[in-house]
Structure 1
Amino acid sequence: MKFIINREEILTPLQQIVSVIEKRQTMPILSNVLIVIEDDQLILTGTDLEIQIIAKINIAMATPGTITVPARKFLDICRLLPSGAEIKFELQGDKVKIASSRSRFSLSCLPADNYPEFAESELENHLFITAGKFKKALDKTVFCMANQDVRYYLNGLLFNVSNSKFKLVASDGHRLSIYEDNLDQATGFEARIILPRKGVLELSRLLDDPEAELKVEFSSNNIRVFIKNLIFSAKLVDSKYPDFSKVFQQEFFNQIHIQKQVLKDALTRVAILSNEKFKGVTFDITPDRLKISTHNPEHDEAEEELIIEYIGEPLTIAFNAQYLLDAVSNLDSELAVLTIASNASSCFIDEPNDCGYKFIVMPMRL
């Protein structure tokens, strides 16, 4: 097995694959990248058994074969070679020889026969979506995913398809983000799946070309996404996402309209003196005024008064400042609309014109 390839052709696919491979592995071979040459294609595969990325590169000068090499060492060699360098790769016995100009490397490798197969069930559903549209939906929701929550369905992202519409939902139990958009083609099916946290973060990183069209295939256990010359696969979270629709079926106070940037700046300033652990700020809302205030165990205090549009009863409610900042930063319009539930159980943050993005924050008890 041998091939010659330009550094630029192999570097990016290798970087994308290595990010999936965990540094500490129970099986030594999982620290390796699987290299296969067949039908004038160089195929690179990396997996942690939960997520897998395969990259396919067209190659002319090559002798077929398969082998696995240490992923990070191989990446570092390719990365540190000069730009435009030609890399010669050859398997000799149980070693791989890599040569480029005056550089020579010899890597110990493991046979490809021992490389674990990524188990995938039949993927009966499929849809097409542009990378730009999917990336925007991910960006507006991923930061709400829980991290290592015992309710493991929250350590992921709900992907809901309903014929020609799709919806992404993420929540950590204290806040919830919902993003809806239309698909270019009707799918003719309804489905709900939960993508795992690590898979979502990896997938988001791979969507670097907004114009690329993605083919998404999934079943109740697996998802596979075709991104140009890459194939991303992940095992899904085997659970049911909680029904969040009840949060919309309640009484609300009148909407509060406020300039997004003004609110963002005020929150950022007041939060400086909030309790470092809880980041709590209090909202005192009266018609045409909003007072944001905070204090901390060191007896520091901060407050800001803002002019708002609001008609209704005065009310006081407290929130985590960082959660509000995350929500407001993701609005596209200049105006933020805050709608507080009449039992003060939640606050909706969205845009004045009917948009596909909604953010819900649960209040704090200070």
Structure 2
Amino acid sequence: MNINIQKETLELPLSQIIGVVEKRQTLPILGNVYLELNENRLTLVGSDLETEITTLVNNISGSDGKTTVSARKLFDICRALPSESQLSLLVEEDNKMVVKAGKSRFTLQTLSAVDYPRLEETVWKQEFFLSQQQLHNLLTRTSFSMAQQDVRYFLNGLLIEIRDNEILSVATDGHRLAKTSVAVDDLGVNQFVQSIVPRKAVIEIAKFLDAGSKDKVTVKLNASHIMVHSGEFMFISKLIDGRFPDYEKVIPANLDKHIIIDRLNLIEILSRAAILSNEKFRGVSLNISNKVLKVSSHNPDQEYASDEMGIEYEGEDIEIGFNVNYLLEALKACDSEQIDLGLLDPNTSCTFHSAGDSDTLYLIMPMRL
């Protein structure tokens, strides 16, 4: 097997695959990338037994064959070579791959492609299409609220919900919740669908999506897997087998205090207050009165910070505490100049969304300071 390829042509698909390849693999071959050249088409595959990325590169010269080689080492070699270098990858009979570029030469160990584990083919039950921009928004506007290594395993992922001609994504770690939706004409899915996509899969899918692209993405689902396909890129992941919480029940409907706040200004004063917040609990206090928001924080070293800004609000005073990291992550996920903050009392979760946009909603539980 021999592959002749330009550095950048190989580096791009390797960069997409490297996030899936296991760093601490139980099987040594899972640290490798699967390479197959067949009729001038190069197939690259990375897998961790739960997720699998396949990329195709056309018009590649060489001799047909297949092998597996360390994904990390091959990727690092590509990155270290000068731009527009021409690479030759030759697989020899002694399970070695020789990589040549100019005067540089590298010899890598290979493992048989026959032993490379692939996800089994599956029958898809639902299929729909949306733009890269729409899917990117569904993932990035909510994924930061996913739990990490929670014993409630169903929280370690993102809920994808389909109803009518609308796709929703919801994430929660039990302390906060993020929800957004996009309308898709002619969605083609005539039943209510809920699927929980694992955290790692969500992060890797978002990496290859172009936030501004209108190009279509194909999404396929069944009870156990999701597939995302766009151009020469295909991503398959197992789903989390569990029941996502009824998120609509935790969103308060009786919030009677609504404050309009400049988003970027709020991010700035929260960031300043965060400097002296408790490093463990990250609490800040929001003191809201007529047309003024005061943000304050303190820590066990008896250090204090306070700042204030003007707001659009007329009503009774209220003081409420929050984890400043939760506030900042949600505010940075918004893209509007102003946000609408909804409150009831110091013991009830707040909600906020971009002013004039109810498609995306963030909920954060208060904390005692």
Q: TM-score, normalized by length of structure 2? A: 0.93
SS of the residue corresponding to residue 257 of structure 2 reads coil
| Mapped partners of 1:187, 1:50: distance in 2 | 28
**104 and 257 in structure 1: CA distance in 2 versus 1, 3 angstrom threshold:** closer
SS of the residue corresponding to residue 111 of structure 2 reads coil
**97 and 274 in structure 1: CA distance in 2 versus 1, 3 angstrom threshold:** closer
Q: CA deviation at 1:179?
A: 0.9
Residue matched to 2:260: 257
Residue matched to 2:199: 197
Residue matched to 2:77: 77
| Mapped partners of 1:70, 1:352: distance in 2 | 49
Q: CA deviation at 1:255?
A: 0.9
Comparing 189-198 and 242-251, the one that deviates more: 242-251
Residue matched to 2:366: 363
Residue matched to 1:88: 88
Residue matched to 1:347: 350
Q: For the Cα contact (< 8 Å) 1:163–1:187, is it kept in 2? A: no
Q: CA deviation at 1:186?
A: 2.1
Comparing 286-295 and 20-29, the one that deviates more: 286-295
Q: CA deviation at 1:98?
A: 2.3
Residue matched to 1:140: 141
Q: For the Cα contact (< 8 Å) 1:148–1:155, is it kept in 2? A: yes
SS of the residue corresponding to residue 241 of structure 2 reads coil
Q: CA deviation at 1:17?
A: 1.1
Q: CA deviation at 1:343?
A: 7.4
Query: Is residue 239 of structure 1 aligned with residue 242 of structure 2?
Result: yes
- Structure 2: gaps spanning 5 or more residues: none
Count of residues in Structure 1 that have an aligned counterpart in Structure 2: 366
**250 and 343 in structure 1: CA distance in 2 versus 1, 3 angstrom threshold:** farther
Q: For the Cα contact (< 8 Å) 2:42–2:60, is it kept in 1? A: no
- Aligned 1:104-119 pairs, distance under 5 A: 104-119=105-120
Comparing 180-189 and 236-245, the one that deviates more: 180-189
| Mapped partners of 2:70, 2:330: distance in 1 | 41
Cα-Cα RMSD: 1.9
Q: TM-score, normalized by length of structure 1? A: 0.94
**250 and 117 in structure 1: CA distance in 2 versus 1, 3 angstrom threshold:** same
Residue matched to 1:304: 307
Q: What letter corresponds to residue 243 of structure 2 in structure 1?
A: K
Comparing 206-215 and 68-77, the one that deviates more: 206-215
Query: Is residue 219 of structure 1 aligned with residue 215 of structure 2?
Result: no
Q: What letter corresponds to residue 202 of structure 1 in structure 2?
A: E
Q: For the Cα contact (< 8 Å) 2:127–2:189, is it kept in 1? A: no
Q: CA deviation at 1:60?
A: 4.6
Q: Percent identity over the alignment?
A: 38
Q: What letter corresponds to residue 231 of structure 1 in structure 2?
A: M
Residue matched to 1:277: 280
**270 and 82 in structure 1: CA distance in 2 versus 1, 3 angstrom threshold:** closer
Q: CA deviation at 1:201?
A: 0.8
Comparing 219-228 and 56-65, the one that deviates more: 56-65
Q: CA deviation at 1:321?
A: 1.6
Query: Is residue 268 of structure 1 aligned with residue 271 of structure 2?
Result: yes
Query: Is residue 288 of structure 1 aligned with residue 291 of structure 2?
Result: yes
Q: For the Cα contact (< 8 Å) 1:156–1:194, is it kept in 2? A: yes
Q: For the Cα contact (< 8 Å) 2:130–2:184, is it kept in 1? A: yes
**9 and 342 in structure 1: CA distance in 2 versus 1, 3 angstrom threshold:** same
Q: For the Cα contact (< 8 Å) 1:121–1:221, is it kept in 2? A: no
Q: For the Cα contact (< 8 Å) 1:130–1:210, is it kept in 2? A: no
Post-superposition Cα deviations, 1:159-190, rounded to whole Å, max 9, x if no partner, equal 11223211111111111111111124322333
Q: CA deviation at 1:355?
A: 3.0
SS of the residue corresponding to residue 234 of structure 1 reads strand
Residue matched to 1:183: 184
Q: CA deviation at 1:120?
A: 4.4
| Mapped partners of 1:305, 1:107: distance in 2 | 59
Comparing 343-352 and 140-149, the one that deviates more: 343-352
SS of the residue corresponding to residue 299 of structure 1 reads coil
Residue matched to 2:335: 332
| Mapped partners of 1:265, 1:71: distance in 2 | 41
| Mapped partners of 1:250, 1:132: distance in 2 | 30
Name which of 198, 207, 210 aligns with 2:209.
207
Post-superposition Cα deviations, 1:245-278, rounded to whole Å, max 9, x if no partner, equal 1133542222112222332222222222221211
